[in-house]
Structure 1
Amino acid sequence: MSIGNSPEDDRPSPGDDDRPSFADDDRPTIGHALKQARIASGLTVDEVSSITRVRVPIVHGLEEDDFSRCGGDVYARGHIRTVARAVGLDSEPLVAQYDAEHGGRPAPTPAAPMFEAERIRPERRRPNWTAAMVAAIVVVVGFVGFTMFSGSDSKDKNTQVAEGPTQTQQSPAPKPAPSTPAAPKPAPSDSAIAAAPQDKVTVKLSAISDRSWISAKAHNGKVLYDGLLEKGESKTFVDGEKIDLILGNAGAIELYVNGKKVGDQFEDGQVERLTYTKGDPVVG
């Protein structure tokens, strides 16, 4: 009789062949998905870095599936979410894929026991009755001295008034004439840009519903502005020939060109490249 395992124990159990394996997962890597989405959005790595404020080497590392430059799993997940939103991807599947490939999320740190908080609570101090009595005595002595000094001073004043000459009553000083309040300054309106010079191109950008990254360049390539335009803020740019624009979140921007509102309806999160010259607002 054999004590070891029988040949039947080495046979695969039912359903083992149906289990999915990681090797059979034909999903693209995180870096490949981010790179393809960026190319499809028409953005460069530098533009993605400007939009997300993630440094260029880290963006390159993410597209090459090199997460060592992120500084840890927590920062890597945050960079993946930020870059994915900038290129138009759903970030949650990519973060889940990162967790599956790097050991999952770390367990939350347990809260300190309640008895520890009770143990370190400072003891209540007892009242210092000696200091309180000394303070009370000082207050009483000071009050008595002040009363005696005030009585003596008032007596001397009454004597001087009785012996001295009668003082003439001074006439009250004239009241100053009430000043007329200045008329309030008229608040500047959005139509002020309508007075833009005809021999130049004038562009005004206002973030209405959300913030947006914008880039504005003059005709000679000089960067007029490159950064975030927060909700409620406005920027106006003037050039003698043309102005090139890149709007990272075009749906949040209200656009005036040469004093006329541009009626194009852009979508939230849409990236738009625009060029405007003198005359009517015509996209270049």
Structure 2
Amino acid sequence: MSIGNDLEDGNSPEEDRPSVGRALQQARIAAGLTVDEVSSVTRVRVPIVQGIEQDDFSRCGGDVYARGHIRVLARAVRLDPETLINQFDAERGGRPEPTPAAPLFDAERIRPEPRRPNWTAAMVAAIVAVVGFVGFTLFSGGDKNDGSSVAEETRSAKPTASTSPSASPSKSGERKPEPSESAIAGVPADKVTVKLTAEDGQSWISAQDHNGRLMEEGVLRKGQSKTFSDSKRIDLVLGNAGAIKLFVNGKEVKNLSDSGSVQRLSYTKGDPEAG
């Protein structure tokens, strides 16, 4: 009896595994992010984020959209999106197989008809050629001065043609100005330029321009760098600010925050100053 009770009370590893929504919620809380912050960086509406964390995918508009929401939310809270998507499909009986394309039969192919020679067009072209030849012969025989004028024009055109090669070397000898190294390496003064480098570990980052358009979002792994530029302002969200080395307009911004903390920063052309 005791053995039977142990088997009935025991749970399999799959039963101990949290659901998709519960796993996303736990990872978000562990990363120190609120629902509003996750919604801001992923562009997924707050009601949809709250529903997914409760395993309610009815607001997603279908399984295809639900998989897309799960993927971006998992990346925002540093989870493996493929594992959660496989779990999501397993709970719904698996992803449907793609429908194979119908075969193309030879009978359905459109074969072009063989082209036949256009004898009418050939006859018209022959008649036009004969008439043109006769007219040219009569015209050239009636006026002998035409030949001399053509010859004079040909001789007069030769000196002008000989002068053209002398002009070409001067053009080819001109050297185009090359851009200086300082112009390439310098930071533009009419823009705000931000450079992020993950030195002490990886961090989730998000960057937006002054119009609110998303420039970059995702995980910046240790040793990687990203540079962003805008004409007015750049807004940043750093999931692990203590691991980031930040340069604004060519100057380093020190003492951002402790490791593991989330920071929201904004910089313009006059910075670096406290965002």
TM range (shorter): 0.5 to 0.7
Between the aligned partners of 2:26 and 2:262, the Cα distance in structure 1 is: 16
Between the aligned partners of 1:42 and 1:154, the Cα distance in structure 2 is: 96
The answer to whether the 8 Å contact 2:140/2:146 transfers is no
Aligned partner of 1:183 in structure 2 is: 177
Aligned partner of 1:7 in structure 2 is: none
AA at the equivalent of 2:144: N
User: Are 1:74 and 2:67 matched, yes or no?
Assistant: no
Aligned partner of 1:11 in structure 2 is: none
Aligned partner of 1:147 in structure 2 is: 133
Taking only the aligned residue pairs, the percentage that are identical comes to 43
Match of 1:96 among 68, 86, 91: 86
User: Are 1:123 and 2:123 matched, yes or no?
Assistant: no
Between the aligned partners of 1:50 and 1:26, the Cα distance in structure 2 is: 31
Structure 2 SS opposite 1:25: helix
Structure 1 SS opposite 2:207: strand
In the superposition, the TM-score normalised over structure 1's length comes to 0.60
Give the 3 Å change call, closer, same or farther, for CA 274–53 of structure 1 in structure 2.
Answer: closer
Structure 1 runs (4+) greater than 6 angstroms displaced: 173-177, 230-233, 275-284
Shift of 1:41: 2.0
Structure 2 SS opposite 1:105: coil
Shift of 1:106: 1.0
Aligned length: 241
The answer to whether the 8 Å contact 1:215/1:247 transfers is no
Stretches of structure 2 lacking an aligned partner (at least 5 in a row): 199-203, 218-224, 256-260
Shift of 1:35: 1.9
Shift of 1:73: 1.5
The answer to whether the 8 Å contact 2:207/2:235 transfers is no
User: Are 1:133 and 2:119 matched, yes or no?
Assistant: yes
Between the aligned partners of 2:226 and 2:123, the Cα distance in structure 1 is: 63
Structure 2 SS opposite 1:234: strand
Give the 3 Å change call, closer, same or farther, for CA 279–96 of structure 1 in structure 2.
Answer: closer
Give the 3 Å change call, closer, same or farther, for CA 273–123 of structure 1 in structure 2.
Answer: same
Stretches of structure 1 lacking an aligned partner (at least 5 in a row): 1-13, 197-201, 217-222, 265-269
Match of 2:187 among 178, 192, 203: 192
In the superposition, the TM-score normalised over structure 2's length comes to 0.62
The answer to whether the 8 Å contact 2:206/2:238 transfers is yes
Aligned partner of 2:237 in structure 1 is: 246
The answer to whether the 8 Å contact 1:248/1:272 transfers is yes
Higher helix share: 2
